[in-house]
Structure 1
């Protein structure tokens, strides 16, 4: 039986080679594991979209509003305001002696004074000057034309019978002839009560008397 003895150097060399081969195998395996474990970073392509800037809207030019010249108002011919119709006072044949419509008043009933010659009284023979209401200085207001009568077109003539005292005031105003409208009659009667008269005179002496006052209510066309 034969034995082959190897030298120590050959054995050591074989061990070193094995170690080297093992290291290479380990490194190779490590590289494979590293490539498998690490994720691959994929660079995404950079995409740039160029967007054109929208043009800014131009400020709309505000057209100046045309200057409006106000029309010149035409001057209207001023028409004079229409005066409210006034009653018409009639003064002709308006006096009425007291004796013809009423008993003789006390002022006219004085007893006659005998004259030195023993004749009749001179006072009773003197003419009677009738009472007046149309003198300008009396400033008697005209009766008011009632508004309702104007709207209804009422017209007419009222004749008043007025008793005039010695001081020229009227103490009694009666309606002798109606105008046909109570409103017109009352307006005339109410106003004439406030009038002043020139009293009747006989021989320069004031006496009481009756006088007729005609008032015509007429609407102007």
Structure 2
């Protein structure tokens, strides 16, 4: 029996595909076995240590240029000569005389009468002669300076000249302090004034 050409080609194609498939099936396990037996190589990559970053050192500042100021040169002193005096001298005129001031009239001087202490009517007691001074034969003359006020009393009694004995001086001063005086007068007016009062101490026999 003869097949038609188209059917014969189809059968041939199917047969060819079957052969190829069988070959593939027989080859696949062998390749798989080979592939599974091959070792796997793994490379470990170690990260490199980072290099520390070195910062650049700052450059030192450049020195500033120093200005050299030249010292001032001292000029030699200049001698100053006095100018020649002019041949003609100018004499200033004298100032006009000042007007004469009127002379004040001199005040009329009124004499001052000193205080009086030895009038009989004043009845002033004599100083007491100290007993010890008499025993020791002490004698002398004391002069007292007395300030008499306008009422005729002694405001102050000072020793002007000492007798040389303290007991005699003290006795005279204490007595004269109680004396009464006629005050000094300028005209009819009583004024305070100083007067000297002498007191003598003498032993008889």
Q: TM-score, normalised by structure 1?
A: 0.45
For CA contacts below 8 A with separation 6 or more, give which structure has more relative contact order: 1
